[in-house]
Amino acid sequence: MRFYDGQHQFYCGVDLHTKRMYLCILDHEGNKRLHRNVRSKPHDFLNAIKDFRDDLVVGVECMFTWYWLADLCLDEKIKFLLGHALYMKAIHGGKKKDDKLDSEKIARLLRGGTFPLSYVYPREMRATRDLVRRRMFLVRRRSELLAHVQLVNQQYNHDPFEKMLKYASNRDVLDRFAEESARLNVEADLQMVGHYDQLLKQLEANLLRQARLHDPKACCLLRTIPGVGKILSLVMLYEIHTIDRFPSIGDFMSYARLVTPKQTSDGKVTGHSGAKIGNVHLKWAFSEAVLWMLRYSEDAKALVKRKEKKLGKARAMTMLGRKIARAVYHMLKRKEPFDVVRFFAS
């Protein structure tokens, strides 16, 4: 966890919502200079802080509407900070909680040097990152439709499909359903799958074009990992953005949810909560990278098989995922392609 400890003349805590936002501005001595509920509009925000802009820092808890405020502060040359929602427990405790209290608590966290930082993703790549995430969502919906076709086939006790339905040429299966309603049920699913196929093809072409513009070298480096193709490399590229934002490999592993959390007190382990703090999309990418590497690399299969005898299959695959993440970190730091010999040397 990283805290912001910069010193400023004024500290602005913002409890941000879709239509309204509560502002609390403290001066360097901790006195409240403004405490007001305003509309979530650029003009209203700038009018409210116009008397305190000389040395102002703005802090907001991370939620889905922060984009516009971050961009506004960047354009107006105002220091903007994004607070990590899962670490900002100080604003969620107490017998009473409302927007007015939350904005003051955020401002006091800023002033006290205990404001937990989250990464402010730059707007140049932000929309493309969101499109990558949306593509993953659409792929899952397409998979649900294909799974429902399999389910209907099993309900009527038909033989399993000989070929995979994910390919359009293998979807001529309506003849096996005698009842009209069942046939229409399956046909509706397959037509939706066809629409998803066209849409995903367009999205992927756009994403690959954007990746070549944003960071083509990093994308090419990631594809040198056995099993990592165009989609996994895109997810890794846009979820990491720049490897320089991670001071150490431990920070990167923690961000990717590849470390085991542990709480201790008086030398005793008291819990393992906090496993969901980190980037779920990056965690998924490394989990997928393990499966694809096992498909394409005999050395990876031998490594997992060797570890599996001692630790079990689940832990062996987890170790391979962590090993891939460490390799990605060093590859992007050194600007070097994947080294198979070094990766499997140990």
341: buried, middle or exposed (CB in 10 Å: 19+, 13-18, 0-12)?
exposed
pLDDT tens-digit series, residues 281-310: 999 999 999 999 999 999 999 999 999 999
* Residues 6+ away with beta carbon under 8 Å from 128: 207, 210, 211, 214, 238
**Token representation of residue 139:** 């792929």
Does position 38 have pLDDT exceeding 90, yes or no? yes
Does position 314 have pLDDT exceeding 70, yes or no? yes
Does position 346 have pLDDT exceeding 70, yes or no? no
Per-residue confidence (pLDDT) for residue 94, from 0 to 100 = 77
**Number of helices and strands in the chain (H, E):** 12, 9
Percent of the chain exceeding pLDDT 90 equals 88
pLDDT tens-digit series, residues 117-156: 999 999 999 999 999 999 999 999 999 999 999 999 999 9
Q: Cβ distance 238 to 125 under 8 Å?
A: yes
Per-residue confidence (pLDDT) for residue 241, from 0 to 100 = 95
CATH number assigned to the domain covering 3-118: 3.30.420.10
Does position 186 have pLDDT exceeding 90, yes or no? yes
Per-residue confidence (pLDDT) for residue 253, from 0 to 100 = 96
What is the band of 335 on the pLDDT scale with cuts at 50, 70, 90? very high
Measure the CA–CA gap between 281 and 227, rounded to whole angstroms.
Answer: 18
Measure the CA–CA gap between 65 and 128, rounded to whole angstroms.
Answer: 17
Measure the CA–CA gap between 317 and 287, rounded to whole angstroms.
Answer: 8
The sheet carrying 10-16 orders its strands as 3-4, 115-118, 79-83, 56-61, 10-16, 20-27, 32-39
Measure the CA–CA gap between 243 and 6, rounded to whole angstroms.
Answer: 23
Strands (E), 266-328: 268-271
> Could you state, in order of their start, the residue ranges of all structural domains in the chain?
3-118, 124-214, 230-343
Lowest mean pLDDT among 32-41, 90-99, 112-121, 254-263: 90-99
Does position 25 have pLDDT exceeding 70, yes or no? yes
**At 214, which helix (H) or strand (E)?**
helix 180-214
**pTM for the full model?**
0.89
What is the band of 97 on the pLDDT scale with cuts at 50, 70, 90? confident
Per-residue confidence (pLDDT) for residue 90, from 0 to 100 = 73
Give me the torsion for CA of 1, 109, 83, 277, rounded to 10°: 40
Per-residue confidence (pLDDT) for residue 290, from 0 to 100 = 96
* Residues 6+ away with beta carbon under 8 Å from 222: 228, 232, 233, 236, 237, 328, 331
Mean pLDDT to the nearest integer, 64-80: 96
